[in-house]
Amino acid sequence: MATSSTSSAWAEPAAGGPLAGLKVLELGQLIAGPFAAKTLADFGAEVIKIEPPDGGDPLRRWRLLKDGTSVWWQLQSRNKRSVALDLKDPEAQAVVRELALEADVLIENFRPGALEGFGLAPEALMEANPRLIVLRVSGYGQTGPYRDKPGFGVVAEAMGGLRHLSGEPGRVPVRVGVSIGDTLAALHGVIGVLMALHERGQSGRGQIIDVALYEAVFNCMESLLPEYSAFGAVRGPAGSALPGIAPSNAYACRDGQVLVAGNGDSIFRRLMTAIGREDLAADPALADNTGRVVRVQEIDAAIGAWTAGRTVDEVLAALDAAAVPVGRIYTAADIAHDPHYAAREMLLPVTMADGSTLTVPGIVPKLSRTPGSHRRNAPALGQDTDEVLAALRAKREAEG
């Protein structure tokens, strides 16, 4: 990892965490790039986030605000430092170049060409620091005929094939209720960074990672393209069911709904026995998935008739006893009061500046020996600007 023998704008390595000592410079805003940086920061990376002085990252003002700042911000920017710089200003660009000299990773999610427009072309930064790894996240990637189009996650989800599958047959496709395209791209970016770091350990050289939002979504679309290639099949929306796998669906109860996944052969037999349909459990035509798919409507009707007369808790208890995968459809309130979430440390209480407590999601994945941690709250805009700039001045003076 990059080091310096003189004073540095970068903090000392965080105690613990597998990425302690990794220096990450975050440019861009909103979701994909910052989520990637947040994931690295959770595991010990030192992240300096560059924000525009006039308002900062727009995510600070998205959705529900507490004391003028989004509570989403407290999750997305934990463990980071904030430096307020206008990247259109040549002096600010010079500061970024100085920081990039010591950085291990630079993350940006501007439209292609924007970084070059700021005088911060990755190739130039890497010429000055050959070990630098640059993660570039954009809607359509850095090449191809669509590269210059503005691309948000919602458009990428549609282009990647996800939106067409979402919703009920014959109705307007619906959106997944979170920015899943951005998050998938961020996670692909993190994977790319970790692979590039591993390779750098052998070659000593950095490289550019090009992540397109639509490609991150498309990469998760399972057999969508091969089925079209082999059979001309265009998969469509299937509501709450999982097409081609049976039974796996949502079923109405007296006081809500449950999800039941009885698509394993032995699980199916246990499920049918539990609902009093031993005839279906013993039917040789339903012994494997191929036969069950043919009669999925009959199977769904049998399960639905059984759940309709029971409460969610009664269904959960009966199917848990039969070792059949089943679950309620969780709301935020369900999550906040669930004992398993608590036991797994996924409900993380954070003390805010005013002394109040905010619960945010815990850290994943869980490493046994070097786990991630919440080391500092999300910063105020420009909170660390003076400290970072002072350290850079001291470094220049020390170097003569």
Report, as residue numbers or ranges, the catalytic residues. 182
d(CA 311, CA 73) in angstroms, rounded, equals: 38
d(CA 366, CA 321) in angstroms, rounded, equals: 29
d(CA 42, CA 364) in angstroms, rounded, equals: 9
- Cis check for the bond before 90: say yes or no (omega within 30 of 0): no
**Three-state SS at 300:** helix
Report CA 370 to chain centroid distance, whole Å. 21
Give the ranges where the chain is alpha helix by DSSP (H): 32-42, 71-76, 90-102, 114-117, 122-128, 153-159, 162-165, 180-203, 213-218, 224-231, 265-274, 278-282, 289-294, 296-308, 312-321, 332-336, 339-343, 385-398
Structure tokens at 237: 């929306």
| Torsion angle defined by CA atoms of residues 272, 288, 237 and 32, in that order, rounded to the nearest 10 degrees | 100
Report the candidate in 60, 27, 29, 24 with the shortest Cα–Cα distance to residue 40: 24
End-to-end distance of the chain based on CA atoms, in angstroms?
Answer: 24
Report the candidate in 7, 210, 43, 16 with the shortest Cα–Cα distance to residue 24: 43
Report the candidate in 79, 3, 45 with the shortest Cα–Cα distance to residue 360: 79
Structure tokens at 310: 């029971």
Return the CA Rg of the chain.
Answer: 25
- Residue pair 263/190 in contact (Cβ under 8 Å)? The answer is no
